[in-house]
Amino acid sequence: MQQDILINWSPQETRVAIVESGAVQELHVERTLERGLVGNVYLGKVARVLPGMQSAFVDIGLERAAFLHVADLHGSRPHEEHGNGRPGQPPVPIEKRVFEGQPLMVQVIKDPIGTKGARLSTQISIAGRLLVFLPQDDHVGVSQKIPHEQRDALRSRLQALVGTPATGGGGGFILRTNGEDASDAELADDIAYLRKTWSRIREAATRQPAGSLLHQDLSLLQRVLRDLVTEETQTIRIDSREQFALLQAFGREFMPQAAERLALYKGERPIFDLFNIDEEVTRALGRRVDLKSGGYLIVDQTEALTTVDVNTGGFVGARNFDDTIFKTNLEAAHAIARQLRLRNLGGIIIVDFIDMQREDHREAVLAEFRKQLARDRVKTMAGGFSQLGLVEMTRKRTRESLAHMLCEPCPCCRGAGQVRTPRTVAYDILREILREARQFNPREYRIVASPKVVELFLDEESQHLAGLSDFIGKPISLQSESSMGQEQYDIVLM
């Protein structure tokens, strides 16, 4: 499926949209002051070791200490020998491998999300245009996305180019998918570039204090050429002349094939207006997603998981009820996969398709859903229908979702999605005054609350307010405060 990449650049923010068949499939946002950390290499210091969790907290100079699990220590990966030097044996406990105060070179593999710090690994990997360099290993591999019958030949070519420590080579390399058709000269250039980068990192580690940044991954603009361009990409349009020139120079040096598709957008309308991308972003921040058939999705994102509920809505176009449900679920399978990419939803996701009686319908919907998920560049895994008719799936989460990046919890409901009614708040106030009347003896009580609560006391609840005033033997006055939320109030003792 052919795609276009649109880049909207401003000094404070870079936005990248991937468009297929006129519809936005992915949106990437990088803000100058909030740039992601994945791929960055730091010289950290172990702040605390937690044997019970087989983890450690590492200070890398950020606001919160980062998290390092024993499985992410070099020597604990499946293709490596375990920490005790014998394959297949359980890893050595973390308390025997790191200690408090120890300097440690680490790489961020997951950005800080919410209250969680960044996740780290001591297995350093540096991505190039065609290869990924593993400086601590001697493993030479090929991307699993490359056809199996080509891997052995490519691995042999790469092994010859990499060499061995005896020939001045060494280090592990993995051939990326876009390096399948690369020439030996191109691969050799990438190998030299990656080894030079690693040399600079090692040198910086000997000079910099703990908590220092040793290597920063490419910016979003540069990662567009390295990671987002595929064979289906037709054009990469950017609306900044200055950034176009810089990106073109970077592309010609490292990614010439991708650079050929670069184009400067000179239109009068903002580039994102071409495909109504800003409207798509607004819809992607809402709970409800309308389907073309008249059905709709309800997407709820929580701390633990994301739920997606499918509803027929006003769709009554099929010949019978079973076909109506089947066609709605098929359309929903497309829409859900797209929404996961667009919203960058990760972690555990529960999909509640409309119940289907026929087994062939369930299998067809599940097959279509998995087919759409396979287009995702992020790793996904979907199970079958559970006994309750739910589909459980996971999507790898490496950065914050679109909603977490662009929004913050509502100051009124504090993220709950609902607030107590004015009447509920009014009754809370009456109870609070009664409690305080038993402890204090002021001249007067003054209620400071939102306009809706005060209006309720002046109208429907005026009798209850007067009754309480008579009962405690003190006057109660009202003060409306428009800056207060509906649940906020204050009782002033005069």
214 close to 154: Cβ distance less than 8 angstroms: no
**CATH of range 124-211; options 3.80.10, 3.40.50, 3.30.230, 3.30.70:** 3.30.230
> For the chain, what percentages of helix, strand and coil (3-state, to nearest 5) are there?
35, 25, 40
User: Region 301-314: what's the mean pLDDT?
Assistant: 88
Give the separation between CA 225 and CA 344, rounded to whole angstroms: 20
pLDDT above 90 (res 2): no
Mean confidence (pLDDT) of the chain: 88
Q: Which of 115, 121, 131 is nearest to 40 (CA)?
A: 121
pLDDT above 80 (res 90): no
pLDDT of residue 82: 38
| β 391-395/347-352 pair status | antiparallel
pLDDT above 80 (res 320): no
Three-state DSSP at 441 gives coil
Give the separation between CA 321 and CA 19, rounded to whole angstroms: 34
- For every residue of 267-318, DSSP letters joined together read -SS-GGGGGTHHHHHHHHTSSEEE-TTS-EEEEEE-SSEEEEEEE-TT---S
pLDDT above 70 (res 201): yes
Pinpoint the residues of the chain covered by CATH 3.40.1260.20.
Answer: 422-493
pLDDT above 70 (res 317): no
CB count, 10 Å around CB of 301? 17
Give the separation between CA 155 and CA 141, rounded to whole angstroms: 6
pLDDT above 60 (res 78): no
pLDDT of residue 159: 87
Of 29-43, 244-258, 456-470, where does the model show the most confidence?
456-470
Pinpoint the residues of the chain covered by CATH 3.40.630.
Answer: 286-397
Span 178-193, pLDDT tens digits: 778 788 888 888 888 8
pLDDT of residue 81: 40
pLDDT above 60 (res 168): no
User: Region 83-100: what's the mean pLDDT?
Assistant: 73
pLDDT above 70 (res 424): yes
Span 210-262, pLDDT tens digits: 889 999 888 999 889 888 888 889 999 999 999 999 999 988 887 788 889 99
Pinpoint the residues of the chain covered by CATH 3.30.230.
Answer: 124-211
* More confident call, 458 vs 417: 458
The percent of residues above 70 in pLDDT, for the chain, comes to: 94
Q: Which of 446, 453, 456 is nearest to 482 (CA)?
A: 453
pLDDT-derived band at 36 (thresholds 50, 70, 90) equals confident
Give the separation between CA 25 and CA 334, rounded to whole angstroms: 11
Query: What is the homologous superfamily of the domain 422-493 according to CATH?
Result: Ribonuclease E, catalytic domain (3.40.1260.20)
**End-to-end CA separation in angstroms for the chain:** 71
User: Region 63-90: what's the mean pLDDT?
Assistant: 69
325 close to 312: Cβ distance less than 8 angstroms: yes
Pinpoint the residues of the chain covered by CATH 3.30.420.60.
Answer: 3-35+219-277
pLDDT of residue 319: 66
pLDDT above 70 (res 315): no
**pTM of the full structure:** 0.73
**CATH of range 286-397; options 3.30.930, 3.40.630, 3.30.1380, 2.40.160:** 3.40.630
> What is the token pair recorded at 3?
């795609």
> What is the token pair recorded at 407?
């929004």
Least confident residue range of 20-24, 122-126, 369-373:
20-24
Query: What is the homologous superfamily of the domain 3-35+219-277 according to CATH?
Result: eRF1 domain 2 (3.30.420.60)
Least confident residue range of 193-207, 303-317, 381-395:
303-317
Give the separation between CA 330 and CA 45, rounded to whole angstroms: 51
pLDDT above 90 (res 385): yes
